[in-house]
Structure formats: structure tokens, C-alpha cells
Amino acid sequence: MSISKAELIGALSYALDLTEGQAEGHALRCCFIGMTMAEHLSFPQDQRGDLYYMLLLKDIGCSSNAARICQLFLADDLTFKRDFKTLNESLPQVLHFVFSHTGLKAGLAERFRALVHNFTAGNITHELIETRCQRGAEIARQMRFSEAVATGILDLDEHWNGSGLPLGRKGAEISPLAQIALLAQVADVFHTASGPAAARREIARRSGKWFDPALAAVFATVAADPAFWAALKAPDMESRIKRFAPSDATETVEEDFLDAVAAAFAEVVDAKSPFTSGHSKRVALFADLIAEELGLSDEHRRHLKRAGLLHDIGKLGVSNQILDKNGKPDDDEWAAIKSHPGLGERILSRITAFADLAVVAASHHERLDGRGYPRGLTAEALGLDTRIISVADVFDALTADRPYRPAMPIDKAFSIMDRDVGLAFDPDCYDALKRALARVEPVLKAAA
């Protein structure tokens, strides 16, 4: 089944909205706003393709500072990021923001320490934005997008008057793609929160500070048309932005590109928490070892590796306050954790050719005996791919560091998993993993 670049990137942009705590479709709406602006600006035709992709991927580095936000502010990273974008520069507002987002759920002493730390640590915002921008640009390069797309992502938080981050670039030094994207982002965030008038006011207010006055003036013209705002509210944004898509976006993507995109999004997921660092990649590797043992075809193995890379994509929608918690989750937190398979399914099922991957994402925490989550499915409903990924997933979870315990040696992990063979895990898949690891263990030991 074929898949186009536009369909793939458009669908995956929903995963980025989740991580930013934005209303669903934020990246698509930014694409619509930015590309509409480009038409009014007579933006060079040969750069519009880059602008289109940059607008959809502007937040691709976003997950990489989530854990740090939580650590520093003891706050929910998703709410923090959402509200941070509606912040203007007045001191009372900034102070109110810091107080209201620092450690809402933490004890008073922790909250106090976090506040002191925030005020004394200096360049925290700088560090957060730098990480996000640099990681984002790196991931875009990894997905083989142009240098213009990568630089656009890198410059997203730079301001026209030089007050932005991370480099304090000024005026024309800032990537023109980033200038349009920042304006589109502010317009969408304020429009979604408070309507068209608020968006227009905010863009005008930041003209000459955040935005080139000429660009803000073009936005004022675009925003004078009621049809523009009506379009932004329409439910079919995915098809509305199609007319802006560059010609290569409608071509069927190559298998190699799909692999690169799956690997890049695995990094976005894994970068969210220090405890999941490398998890998706390792699950893909363990799944491939099992598949090789089971004699699956090369094509099947390639598909399975993508399933491993993307199985936890729904975790982008779960706060780090929960993912990194050192202790037992309470009922609400547990409910949030249990939502990640469903969120992953929703993201991946937007891509027709990823229907099988969506099934794996939805059911990788189910068990053969029906005691898994979120649906409590039983053996008959769990296909081979899901069974392989769930063995690989639990094995990696046990043998990697967790917030509440250190990594376990392989033997101990197996002795725990042994108890659940036939109940949680498929015996054939489990044996295959054991055989595969027994074969590589001497190599691992020799290398150690």
C-alpha cells in the first residue's frame, strides 16, 4: 500500500501537538496560516515546499526538554508548554506564570526549592529552548529534510528585535521560514484560546519586537478576511492544506524514507524521559531478534522494526510528571498511563498504510489471559506482531533503569517473565527471545 509524504508528515504532526499540550491540529493550522501568508507575501515558489514541511515539523524537538521542565519546575510539562506560548513579556505576567506553574502538585518545601532554583539558575529558558531547537533541527536532518527546514526549526524562537533564543539572531539573520512559523504559532495559539480578535491584537502588539513589521502587516491583511478564520475552524484542515503541498509531497514515499521517519519519531518519543532513553530502538532490536529466530521474511521484519520504533508514540501525550514519577502512580496517573496505547493508535491510524502498526500500538500492553490494558483483549485478538512487541517491550522495561528501580540483570528479568509465559506472553515469541539472546550473550560478554 502506498503512502505520500504529505499524509505521513501531516499525521505525525498530531503527535507533536500532543507533546506541546496544544489543541489537536495545531501544526496543521500553523501550516495553513503560514502558507496563506506565503501567498500574500509572494514568498519564493522554490522555498514553499521547505516552508510547508517546516511548519508541520516545527515542534519536532519538543519532547527533548519535557523531562527537564518537570525536574526544574516540578510541573506538568504539557500544561506548562501550552501556557508558556500565551505568555507576553510583562513582568507581572511572567511572575504569575512561574508561581502558578511551579510545583502545583508538589509539597511546599519542594515548591520553594524549585522556585529558588529557577531564580538563581539564570538561563533556564535559554537552555530549554536551545535543547529543543537543536534536537529538532538534528531530527529533521535525520529525516532527510533540507538544511532550510532544519535551520527554520533551529530559529523558531528567535525574535525580530534580537530578544529571542537561543542565539539572539536579529532581523534578516533569522530564517524566513522561522519568522513565518513563529507568527503562525502565536496566531493559532491565541486564536484557539481566545478567538480572532485576540490573535490579531497579539500579532500587532509583537510587531517590531517578535515579528518583522512588514510580516505583521501582511498578517493584518490576511486576518481581515472572515473566510480565513472560518477556514481555521473547519474540521477538514488536513485536506485544506493539500493545495499548498509541494509536488514531492504527493509522491509515494520510499521504504527507506519510512524507516528514517519511524526512527526519527522513535527518538522524539525516547527523548521525552531519561528513563525511556533508547527504549523504542531497543524494542525494535529485540523484536527483530525474535523475528529472525522465528524465520520471518525480510519484509515482515522491516515492518516489525517500525512497529517497535513507534509502539509508544502515544506516550508523547502523557505528562513527564507521571512518566518520571519515583513511586506508585495514583488512580488518575494510572489512567493517564493507560491512555498511551489509545493515543498511539489514534496517531498511527491516520496513516492508511500504518493500520497494522496502529493495532500494535493499541494492544502492546494487552495479555493473552485478558488481564492487560487498555481493553482487556484475550489471546484470539492478539496477532503475532503484537505478541512479539509485547515480549520485547517488557524485556526492555525490566533490563533498563526505571524511576523506581535500577536496571535488572538479564537472568533476573527472565526469571520474572518466566512466571507469565502463556499468561501474558506468547511462549514461542518468548523462547525465541531467549534463544536469540543466548546466541549473542557470549559476544556481549566478550565485548564487555
Amino acid letter, residue 17: D
Closer by beta carbon to Fe ion, 267 or else 312? 312
Give min distance, CB of 358 to Fe ion, in A.
14
CA distance 426 to 184: 49
Closer by beta carbon to Fe ion, 25 or else 344? 344
Give min distance, CB of 284 to Fe ion, in A.
11
DSSP-assigned letter for residue 75: S
Give min distance, CB of 26 to Fe ion, in A.
24
Write the secondary structure of 340-375 as one string of H (helix), E (strand) and C (coil).
Answer: HHHHHHHHHCCCHHHHHHHHHHHHCCCCCCCCCCCC
CB 183, CB 219: distance < 8 Å: yes
Give min distance, CB of 105 to Fe ion, in A.
23
Closer by beta carbon to Fe ion, 59 or else 312? 312
Give min distance, CB of 362 to Fe ion, in A.
11
Closer by beta carbon to Fe ion, 130 or else 393? 393
Give min distance, CB of 78 to Fe ion, in A.
18
Burial class (CB in 10 A: 0-12, 13-18, 19+), 122: exposed
Which residues contact Fe ion by CB under 5 A?
312, 393
Give min distance, CB of 368 to Fe ion, in A.
17
CA distance 357 to 331: 28
272 is catalytic: no
Closest CA to 153 of 171, 173, 135: 135
Burial class (CB in 10 A: 0-12, 13-18, 19+), 431: middle
CA distance 155 to 143: 18
Amino acid letter, residue 306: R
Report the helix count and the strand count for the chain, using DSSP H and E: 24, 0
Closer by beta carbon to Fe ion, 7 or else 393? 393
Helix (H, G, I), strand (E, B) or coil at 146: coil
Closer by beta carbon to Fe ion, 385 or else 393? 393
CA distance 368 to 387: 9
Closest CA to 440 of 448, 384, 306: 448
Closest CA to 189 of 58, 341, 22, 432: 22
Give min distance, CB of 57 to Fe ion, in A.
24
Grid cell 511551579 — which residue?
102
Q: What is the enclosing helix (H) or strand (E) of 95?
A: helix 91-101
Closer by beta carbon to Fe ion, 294 or else 400? 400
Backbone angles phi, psi at 276, to 5 degrees: -105, 5
Closer by beta carbon to Fe ion, 20 or else 312? 312
Closer by beta carbon to Fe ion, 393 or else 426? 393
Give min distance, CB of 16 to Fe ion, in A.
19
Q: 147 is written with which cell numbers?
A: 538544511
Backbone angles phi, psi at 164, to 5 degrees: -85, -170
Which residues are CB-contacts of 232 (< 8 A; sequence separation ≥ 6)?
Answer: 29, 32, 33, 188, 191
Residue ranges in 195-296 assigned as alpha helix (H)? 196-206, 213-223, 226-233, 237-240, 255-270, 279-293
Catalytic residue among 105, 315, 338, 434: 315
Catalytic site positions = 315
